[in-house]
């Protein structure tokens, strides 16, 4: 196991790290400190799990060869938590907050001091999207910035949510094939002595105005988290499914979409001059169960008879047993296409789950109320040679 967690401040990172220490042993985990620069970081090869408050360029360098994840938090409560954490440390005489002088909450969230704005202005986007500086206060610019850097999210196998800590731990354990970790076993180091509904509305609005990029990023990550969790639940449910059906002993496995299909998110079979197929589309995506044993490097091939006009290969995501596939789309004759996905190192198991989603799809019309993205004729799972 080689895992890196970019610990965004005030997002439950310490609680998660303590879980890994208990599971793997303290000697196999390492906390990266920024004092001394990246040159002071030792050889990380002996450690199965490393974590720390990593600037974007550190995350990019130290994450090479490691599976990466992080957790985010609602930007408003994250900034509030930071203030009360600093206040708690100051009251205890800690030198950790020497660069953050005592001040009121109102002064904290409106301060233009660079060392304070590093916490109060889009800090999560600096960790996750490589934002430089405090960021824009224009909503349209914030949305455009996040949309332009969406591909950067793919370097994390999971971006969990502080507000959904147990679900986030479940997603990490599911992906890494670890025993289940339970939220609440580690006490929070910050005493929660504040309530959101007691904070002045002007303070909340000041935080929101300075965190437009983080708010948009949090919205996008939350939607992706729900989609990933749905895939996880699909995989967990598939264990029950594979226990009730005959499983062929070897690959390849071919599913003709014009016939009976086991999975979710598919419209009924239909046919035209090109052949028989099924449409999928919409925010929940679709899944297929391949009733075949196998493991190792795999190829998934989808024969597409139709694609909605506004759907491109960059809009398509394929996951096999929760692992994202690298994709290639090859045009064919008469509007046909072949979509091929490659997955390396799939665990040997008696059945496999393919999850398919798109970011865009055809909106309903008066004559057809369906959300249509891809019309699939055939799905093939085989071992890569």
168 and 302 fall within a common domain: no
113 and 219 fall within a common domain: yes
Q: Is residue 112 part of a domain?
A: yes
Counting the structural domains of the chain, the total is 2
Beta carbons of 47 and 28 less than 8 angstroms apart: yes
Q: Look up tokens 């609602």; give the residue.
A: 74
pLDDT in tens, 215-241: 999 999 999 999 888 888 888 878 888
Q: Which two tokens stand for residue 201?
A: 């509305």
Instruction: Please report the pLDDT score of residue 295 as a whole number.
Output: 86
194 and 278 fall within a common domain: no
149 and 281 fall within a common domain: no
Q: Is residue 246 part of a domain?
A: no
Q: Is residue 241 part of a domain?
A: no
Q: Which residues contact 43 (CB under 8 A, 6 or more apart)?
A: none
212 and 357 fall within a common domain: no
The CATH number assigned to the domain holding 366 equals 2.60.120
208 and 71 fall within a common domain: yes
Which domain covers residue 225, as residue numbers?
3-233
Instruction: Please report the pLDDT score of residue 98 as a whole number.
Output: 57
pLDDT in tens, 48-94: 999 999 999 999 999 999 999 999 999 999 999 999 888 877 777 76
146 and 288 fall within a common domain: no
Q: Which segments of the chain have a pLDDT < 50? A: none
How many Å apart are CA 190 and CA 282, to the nearest integer? 41
Q: What b/e string do you get for 101-112 counting C-beta neighbours within 10 Å, with b at 16 or more?
A: eebebeebbbbe
Instruction: Please report the pLDDT score of residue 291 as a whole number.
Output: 92
55 and 199 fall within a common domain: yes
Q: Is residue 243 part of a domain?
A: no
204 and 290 fall within a common domain: no
Using a cut of 0.75, tell me whether the model's pTM lies above it: no
Instruction: Please report the pLDDT score of residue 201 as a whole number.
Output: 95
Instruction: Please report the pLDDT score of residue 189 as a whole number.
Output: 59
The CATH number assigned to the domain holding 15 equals 3.40.50.300
70 and 190 fall within a common domain: yes
Closest CA to 29 of 43, 40, 44, 8: 44
Q: 296 forms bridges with which residues in the sheet?
A: 346
Q: Is residue 262 part of a domain?
A: yes
């Amino acid at each position: 196991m080689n895992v890196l967690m970019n610990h965004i401040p005030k997002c439950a990172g310490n609680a998660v790290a303590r879980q890994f220490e208990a599971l793997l042993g303290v000697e196999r985990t390492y906390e990266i400190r920024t004092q001394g620069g990246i040159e002071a970081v030792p050889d990380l090869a002996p450690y199965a799990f490393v974590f720390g408050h990593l600037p974007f360029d550190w995350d990019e360098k130290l994450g090479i060869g490691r599976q990466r994840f992080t957790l985010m938090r609602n930007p408003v409560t994250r900034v509030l938590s930071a203030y009360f954490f600093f206040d708690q440390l100051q009251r205890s005489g800690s030198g950790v907050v020497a660069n953050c002088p005592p001040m009121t909450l109102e002064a904290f969230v409106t301060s233009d001091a660079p060392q304070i704005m590093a916490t109060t202005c889009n800090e999560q986007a600096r960790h996750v999207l490589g934002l430089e500086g405090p960021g824009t206060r224009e909503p349209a610019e914030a949305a455009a910035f996040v949309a332009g850097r969406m591909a950067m999210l793919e370097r994390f196998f999971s971006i969990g949510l502080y507000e959904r800590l147990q679900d986030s731990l479940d997603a990490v354990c599911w992906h890494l094939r670890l025993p289940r970790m339970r939220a609440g076993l580690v006490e929070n180091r910050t005493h929660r002595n504040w309530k959101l509904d007691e904070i002045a509305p002007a303070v909340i609005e000041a935080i929101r105005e300075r965190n437009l990029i983080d708010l948009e990023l949090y919205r996008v990550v939350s939607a992706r988290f729900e989609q990933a969790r749905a895939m996880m639940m699909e995989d967990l449910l598939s264990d029950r499914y594979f226990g009730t059906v005959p499983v062929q002993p070897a690959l390849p496995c071919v599913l003709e979409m014009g016939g009976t299909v086991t999975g979710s998110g598919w419209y009924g079979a239909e046919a035209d001059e090109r052949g028989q197929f099924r449409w999928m589309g919409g925010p929940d995506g679709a899944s297929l169960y391949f009733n075949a044993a196998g493991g190792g490097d795999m190829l998934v091939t989808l024969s597409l008879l139709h694609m909605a006009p506004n759907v491109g290969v960059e809009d398509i995501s394929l996951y096999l047993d929760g692992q994202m596939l690298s994709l290639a789309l090859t045009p064919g004759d008469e509007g046909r296409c072949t979509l091929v996905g490659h997955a390396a190192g799939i665990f040997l198991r008696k059945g496999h789950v393919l999850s398919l989603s798109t970011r865009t799809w055809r909106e309903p019309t008066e004559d057809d109320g369906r959300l249509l993205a891809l019309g699939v004729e055939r799905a093939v799972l085989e071992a890569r040679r």
